[in-house]
Structure 1
Amino acid sequence: MELNVQSVQPDYSIYRSLVSELLAGNEQLPSLPAITFEIRSALEQSDLSMVELSKLLAKDPSLSAILLKYASSPLIGSQNPPQTMLEVVRLLGMNQVERITMVHSIKSLFSVHSFKHKRLFVEAWRRMALKASLSTFIAKHVGKVVPDQVLMAALLSEVGTLAVLSAFKKSEQTPDLSVYVALCREYAKSLGVITLKKWQVDSQYLSVVQNIGNWSGESPGAINLSDIINLGLYHSLKLSQAKNDLPPITELTAYKKLEAPENSVVAGGLTLVMTNVQEIRIVAKSLF
């Protein structure tokens, strides 16, 4: 989407100044909730039992609700949806529980300060959920990369877009959507890297942030996590209502790593995606 920010918002420089201040002082960036660190710390213990983990998760009712909803979603495809936290842990496994916990934390730690602010957050999260669902769906069909790891990476790769919102704590400071998009293009990647380093996440997720949207960059070897996320991002942009100057999918580095039949193309996107859009949107809604 082409955007002349000066014509849309005469005081764009004021918004830039606010985000630059946030970038310069990372103590203002959101920190993970204490329960998240507690769960991550517990999962590092080799003798942690599923019963102990389920009791720890139950301490956070909103997290428990998210885990139950996710474990019952089409993404998991269980014939007998779990009813308790212990059943959730048994179904998802400890690694996936950790990733979903992080997802929940990401959504809950960004405070909204006004109706306008909330609208931007909701729109940003909706886009993130669609990209995450697309990326996970592609991973399940292509193989090579663990799907639930892809879900985590897809959401973490957009932390910077939410971090941009942290710069606007007053209603009169909150930009319009078009200006917010421009600010994200300018600052989201840098803010994302700084925030994820603060959270001490695995370096592979930092790599994903650094490579997001790099359609034709060098990426030797087999298809990797960054490639899958870029394919998810590409299709989320393609399915959006906004006009996007996207290159043909066949020019993408990630696409060139695909093999038949997964590399089949229809309507400018992967056939496996374009023929299953409704199913993918249902999964995205379960993450919203």
Structure 2
Amino acid sequence: MDAEQTGYARYRQVVSQLMCGDEQLPSLPVITLEIRRSLRSPEVSLGTLSGLISKDPALSALLMKYAASAMLRSSRPPKTLQDVLQVLGLAQVDRVTMIHSIKSLFTLHSPGHKKLFIEAWERLILKASTCAFLARLVGYTQPDHAFLASLLSELGSLAVLSAFRDDPVAPSRELYYRLCRDYSKSLGVILLKKWAVDEEFIGIIRNTGNWLHRERYHLELIDLVNLSLYHSVKGMNAEADLPELSSLAAYAKLLPPLNVIGDNDELALLISHRAEIHALADALR
């Protein structure tokens, strides 16, 4: 067995052990649970909610930045957390809170782990931003819901890293992505069940990357996630081994002019709005 195979076998054992004991996987922060619980209370006031959110300065800053982003096109930029809650609405605040919590859970501090995390997080945020923008272009009612679905669809890729948080040596980039291919979906499902996240997102994980998946003849959330994944892979590697865009079940549901294919077998509408997609990603970094 060569060195790469030996290394993979060792890392695979660590991930397998992690899957057998989900208590080792990270739980959502207490402040996140408190905020989500308050968001679901019919009696909560904006003042009480903004006071709770202000206990997490990083989350407060992210919500302010997101509420002022070009994606939302607010006529009056928010100046206080209560303004943010009014601009975003409670459902969007809930989703941005989840995004912030996920990033904080998996941020690791050793140079090797941090490098892998930053690369993975940047890819996931850009993919999710593509999904949200595509959702808006096709008339999907909740672009931020599409953003979260896309992000959670690869939650397991971040969870793979958590298996090595006590290991002084991070896996190589090649081994990390190989482990993601083998374990990302399973770990993602385990985590979402542990966090009691909507069952809809678990179904998204299971069908992400299934280019031929089709349940209905109109565009669904999984179609937006798969289209954004396809373009994310293209963005990372123009020569990636992918089917032609026109062969995807999700593509077949796009109507003209949304289905025009441009350079590099990508949707022309995403090519022409690339700057806006990157702007949205910047608002959530």
TM-score higher than 0.5 here? yes
Q: Secondary structure at the match of 1:106?
A: helix
The answer for the alignment partner of 1:122 in structure 2 is 118
Distance 1:242 1:68 in 2: 35
Deviates more, 1:122-131 or 1:235-244: 235-244
Q: Output aligned runs, 1:204-223, within 5 Å.
A: 204-223=200-219
User: Which 5+ residue runs of structure 1 have no aligned equivalent?
Assistant: none
1:273 to 270, 279, 284: 270
Question: Cα deviations across residues 94-147 of structure 1 (Å, max 9, x unaligned)?
Answer: 110001001100001124141100001101100011101100010000113421
1:200 to 186, 196, 201: 196
Question: Cα deviations across residues 176-201 of structure 1 (Å, max 9, x unaligned)?
Answer: 11110000000000000000000001
Q: Secondary structure at the match of 1:162?
A: helix
Asked if 1:39 corresponds to 2:35, the answer is yes
Distance 1:56 1:183 in 2: 38
Asked if 1:257 corresponds to 2:253, the answer is yes
1:232 to 213, 223, 228: 228
CA contact (8 A) 2:62 2:283 kept: no
Q: Secondary structure at the match of 2:250?
A: helix
CA contact (8 A) 1:136 1:150 kept: yes
CA contact (8 A) 1:139 1:150 kept: yes
The answer for the alignment partner of 1:99 in structure 2 is 95
Q: Secondary structure at the match of 1:126?
A: helix
The answer for the alignment partner of 1:189 in structure 2 is 185
| Count of residues in correspondence between the two structures | 284
Q: 1:209, CA displacement in angstroms?
A: 0.7
CA 146–6 in structure 1, closer or farther in 2 if over 3 Å, else same: farther
1:283 to 254, 257, 280: 280
Distance 1:278 1:40 in 2: 32
Q: 1:173, CA displacement in angstroms?
A: 3.7
Q: 1:7, CA displacement in angstroms?
A: 7.1
Query: Quick one: which amino acid aligns to residue 274 of structure 1?
Result: I
The answer for the alignment partner of 1:152 in structure 2 is 148
Q: Secondary structure at the match of 1:265?
A: coil
Distance 2:66 2:2 in 1: 42
Deviates more, 1:91-100 or 1:260-269: 260-269
Deviates more, 1:39-48 or 1:132-141: 39-48
User: Which 5+ residue runs of structure 2 have no aligned equivalent?
Assistant: none
CA 258–285 in structure 1, closer or farther in 2 if over 3 Å, else same: same
After TM superposition, the score normalised by the length of structure 1 is 0.94
Q: 1:215, CA displacement in angstroms?
A: 0.5
Cα-Cα RMSD: 1.7
Deviates more, 1:188-197 or 1:58-67: 58-67
Q: Secondary structure at the match of 1:200?
A: coil
CA contact (8 A) 1:6 1:12 kept: no
After TM superposition, the score normalised by the length of structure 2 is 0.95
CA contact (8 A) 1:57 1:64 kept: yes
